[in-house]
Chains A and B, each alone.
Chain A
Amino acid sequence: MRSKPVTGGNGDRSTDAVIVYVMRRMRAPLITLIVVLSVSLLGLVLIPGQEPDGTPWHMSFFEAFYFVSYTATTIGFGELPYPFNAAQRLWVTFMIYPTVIAWLYAFGAILSLIQDPVFRHALLESAYSRHVRRIKTPFHLVCGYGDTGQILVRTLSQENQQMVVIDIDQGAIDELRIEELKLFVPGLSADAAKSAHLIKAGITHPYCHTVVAITDDDRANLKIAISSKLLNPKVQVICRAESKGIEDNMASFGTDRIINPFNSFADTLEVFLFSAEKFRLRKRLFDCYTNPKLPQQVAQGHWIICGFGRLGQAVYQRLASHGLPTVVIEANRPVESLPEAHVIGRGTEAVTLMEADILHAAGIVAATDDDADNLSIIMTARELHPRLYLVGRQNVRANDALFDAAAIHMRMQINRIVANHATSFIATPLFHLFMAQVQARPEPYVAGINTRLNNVMGEAAGDLWQLNLTVDDAPAICRAIANGQTMMIRHLIMDPWSCVVTRPAVPLALQRHGTDEVVLMPELTTQLAAGDSILLFGRDHKVCLNSRFSIEAVEFMLQNERAAMA
């Protein structure tokens, strides 16, 4: 995540330039070493010596090189092959100091050059480029590896999605390297807001499918989105935006998906308060708000919102639009920007809360951007009014344990919301079309979906998955369709080896090839065509998917069925 400025700004220099620079700095130590060693070598060869029996003898180049090598490196085997005479010893006395010094100097200089952070960074960068160049499957470029990025990368690697990561902070990239992921995820430490770094990270790669800009800096996300759209218009861009202005700006040039965690949480709270069935469905399919304690009935009464920042305002708008009375507690903003029913204060003290009439309130939203304040508000409020419905905002992932212990009814975790939305945009894009349709339906219709899910699955948890009937994703099914066989949705969840058993799964939505229209809750007998996308929810989704890959399994299933009918 963007938190620290990059060290030394070395990201701009190209890898080649750094290697050239390092080699140039190796010149002096290497030339010193060559000159010193060759002079001492020559001296040893030229100075006459004697064999033990007195016959004159000259050291050969081979013997001299051997002697100089073990002397310069301070190993010192002694006077070989014969004991030296006085003249030789005099020369060795002179040469021994410069050779040892030259050796240590060259050795040390080269070692420190190799360990130079700039050089190491250049090597890591070129290793990264090599990995990215070799990718032969569609991949996602994740910009920002903070708390959000970590959750996202871990979840997507479970789904076998290929990813690459870029983050401004070297520490974050080091963490990525330590992380044990199912797939190898290359990481580059550079500022993604600069287009040169985005290109290096692989934005123009033919297989780059999605760019996910989830740094904690709105302006950086905006810059990434606009660069991506300019450099590679085909790429899908998913962005995090925390303010309205940035969000509108992103939408203006066609950013595909914008995640505003505050709006998204306020929507969830709205659904929770005013349409219970939709909330049940949402919670079952997309459980990214941990701990919504259900089915606690929210009492009648007004709501208290502590902190009128981005979250506070979003929640206020939703509640006010339904005519629910609210009281806002805020200390730092100008009075004229606050709604009529407000209390000046921080909400962490009992006095302020009493002033907001907490004893008759239905619930409280602790929405400040300070985790300690939020916890304090929650604790004080519970003390004053134990049956209050508590909604708390958690800003930092490191406070997980504290918020767990506080037993809040509904918790807003920014990182988790952004990561889960990004994951579902990538892995199950149909889900969002499905939810948009469901949102427009009346409650009884949604209750029907919930009943259906309960009938098929019971209380068990399940997975959401999307199957695209393309040659890459479902080769066996596409082949069967191409051969004129009738494929229906029920074939997708049937055990191919026995025509009777079906997996516990419910088809939620079907999108026909080439249309934007989504069919809600399609029948199991709906006939499939190549290019369709189906959203399913159920258990054993890995088993279901695997069997769709096997041409034998699909053939067997269809033949069995024909035989049964005949």
Chain B
Amino acid sequence: MNFQKVVFAFFILLALTLNFGFVLGAIDAPDHHNIYELFAAIVVNLIATVMKFGERSHIGNVLLASSLVADLQLLVSACIWGWVAHISADGVTPGAMASIVSLAAGAFIANIVSVILLMVETATFRR
């Protein structure tokens, strides 16, 4: 067993599951989307990104790219949340919530790509 590989796969999968958990629910209902889950998704995604730094294989490069896409989407959705909650006069309206969740849903797709690539790499691995 390779402990490093376990940790690597763990973070990539966790990034996907947390992201999915946050996106799940009616798109414009603030009650369905937990801010702590978004926070956890961002942190785990960032860690997963850094772990993909310095991979030399071609698949490693695409993995890093998909992770960076997920980071970007999640950070923008968090920024929008911060904006509507603290700066805009209207507060967290269903419309604002919908755009936050749709951005996170984009990150979810990128995370799915990450996991698929991970599976492809595992399947083609030969001893």
Contacts and interface: CB of A to CB of B under 8 A. Distances in A.
Are these two chains actual partners, yes or no?
Answer: yes
Contacts of A38: 39, 43
Contacts, number: 46
B32 interface: no
A21 B53 CA distance: 9
A61 B82 contact: yes
A24 B86 contact: no
B76 interface: no
B39 A61 contact: yes
B56 A62 contact: no
Interface residues of A, number: 21
A543 interface: no
B9 interface: no
A60 B54 contact: no
Interface stretch (A25-33, A310-318, A442-450): A25-33
B47 A34 contact: yes
Interface in A1-32: 16-17, 20-27, 30-31
Interface in B16-48: 35-36, 39, 43, 46-47
Nearest to B53: A23
A499 interface: no
B54 A21 contact: yes
Contacts of A60: 82, 85-86
B53 A34 contact: no
Contacts of B59: none
Interface residues of B, number: 16
Nearest to B51: A27
Contacts of A62: 82, 85-86
A31 B51 CA distance: 8
A60 B53 CA distance: 31
B116 interface: no
B50 A34 contact: yes
A42 interface: yes
B103 to A, nearest CB: 16
A299 interface: no
Nearest to A37: B43
Contact of B46 (A24, A25, A34, A61): A34
A35 interface: yes
Nearest to A62: B82
A346 B54 CA distance: 63
A322 B125 CA distance: 79
A16 B58 CA distance: 13
A346 B110 CA distance: 81
Nearest to B54: A24
A60 B85 CA distance: 9
A42 B85 CA distance: 18
A23 B54 contact: yes
A55 to B, nearest CB: 18
Contacts of A35: 43, 47
B43 A26 contact: no
Contacts of A30: 50, 53
Contacts of B86: 60, 62
Contacts of B35: 61
Interface in A249-286: none
Contacts of A61: 35, 39, 78, 82
B92 to A, nearest CB: 11
Contacts of A27: 50-51, 53-54
A20 B36 CA distance: 34
Nearest to A39: B43
Nearest to A63: B86
Contacts of B85: 60, 62
Contacts of A17: 56
A60 B78 CA distance: 12
A60 B47 CA distance: 22
Nearest to B78: A61
Interface string A27-60: 1001100110010011001000000000000001
Nearest to B11: A31
B50 A31 contact: yes
A42 B35 CA distance: 11
Contacts of B78: 61
Contacts of A22: 54
A42 B53 contact: no
Given A42-B39, A60-B86, A62-B82, A26 B53 contact: yes
Contacts of A26: 50, 53-54
A110 to B, nearest CB: 12
Interface string B40-79: 0001001100110111100000000000000000000010
A35 B46 CA distance: 10
Contact of A24 (B39, B47, B53, B82): B53
17 contacts: A22-B54, A23-B54, A24-B53, A26-B50, A27-B50, A27-B53, A27-B54, A30-B53, A31-B50, A34-B47, A38-B43, A41-B39, A42-B39, A45-B39, A61-B39, A61-B82, A62-B86
Across chains A and B, which 9 residue pairs bring their CB atoms closest together, nearest first?
A24-B54, A23-B54, A23-B53, A38-B43, A62-B82, A30-B50, A20-B54, A34-B46, A31-B50
Given A27-B54, A30-B50, 19 more contacts: A16-B56, A17-B56, A22-B54, A23-B53, A23-B54, A26-B53, A26-B54, A27-B51, A31-B47, A31-B51, A34-B50, A42-B36, A42-B39, A60-B82, A60-B85, A60-B86, A61-B39, A61-B78, A62-B86
